[in-house]
Structure 1
């Protein structure tokens, strides 16, 4: 319980870039202190359609900074705004900003009963007043804040990996194999998962397998419709059955990510033409070649934008 309730640690680092959302500069800081004011509130500023205010105070020997949300009277009755923020103090000597935030990046919830959050012990007054540190130079200083509103956009991308999807076998049948008319054949398009697929067959091979082996590929149809950086995974298995002896059935298993520029994968040397044409084996029966492809695993992506 003590670990759960402990105060978050404060992280302090320096950077060159000024705060993105608001800078509050003070000239004649000592005169402001002499007025006896315990806190000073900056003008409101807009961040992602919300009005915020920066509040500085001196608390028990420390500079304190708070971030307050403004104009809440115009919000719905059950309003809520979740925010992550960090404060800044300018080191005028080294031209760098001391960045101060809670080290665990806690998201602060603003609502009707809690309209401000901050850091009570941002920086000790002794450290702040020491001129060599650069925070108070010629009685001038600058503070700043960056505010990041955590706002749900409703956008969602869901990736699912489907094992053994329904109707996952593509079958290609080439009749009159001995007198092929085309170098390349494609099966009917089949939807498996959320994607359309086809089997691509080169009966006499392609490339280095030309006139040497049967070449078989799995193609992603309409790959050009994928969104930028979109891709589809498939683990697949090619098969040519030996109708005489199932022991001789040839299979090839592989997997790949298909993209708009990589639409087909497979095997150039799936089965040698010598074995394929061997009459003692039943790869070609009645001058008909049958090639099958099982998609074993396929990825599906749904976008909710």
Structure 2
């Protein structure tokens, strides 16, 4: 056994437990410009893996005069955010003369952590090309060789969960005006404005002509809602101050409500079910509904955001 730079090399009579890649006419890889070869997938420890071979060294890592060999987690992009897999693995090269194996691995106790952003580990200098090409050593015989792998998943875990709250300094207020026409002819339970931008999010105003919840039948209900709540990353929340206003078109004595709310994918609509009495809203003596039209305004100020801890 030989240990150097955190890597152990030893000889074993046992063949690889999980996968073998036999390469015939090895020299044709280089001749045909195959600088990186990925094996088919194999399963170990509940995950899918591949062997990755650089026959003349990994050029991206400036490796020369060596064969580079790696273990890669297949379909790593499908892992849940923050998911990590801790692995001990051994990579093999068959000595065809003695029918045993050169085994290269990290020093015992060193686990490699595979995750979405780091799905490949292994050895830049798996074996010097000089030794590999020396027929007397048995690794490349009649231009044929065989590599292998054993993979042992030690543990799995999700990266420490947490969140980051960012409060906004010098927050900007965004304003949107919505003209509602032919109010008496509205038949929908809920009327929705066109989407508008406030901060980095899209919003709608939602008006319930006959009320909603405890305001049903007696009040006009008015809400602000996220227009695309399902696009929010999991765990994200938005803290916003909203002001909803119905304009008095006669005396400019506008009716409004103002409050701070948390918005999220599961709580994407906030406002008032009893925003204004329908009898006041439709009164001819007041200026909220004139010629069957009304004007609704929203002011949105993003005060803070919560996202996953990076």
TM-score range for the pair, normalised by the shorter chain length: 0.3 to 0.5
Q: TM-score by structure 1 length? A: 0.46
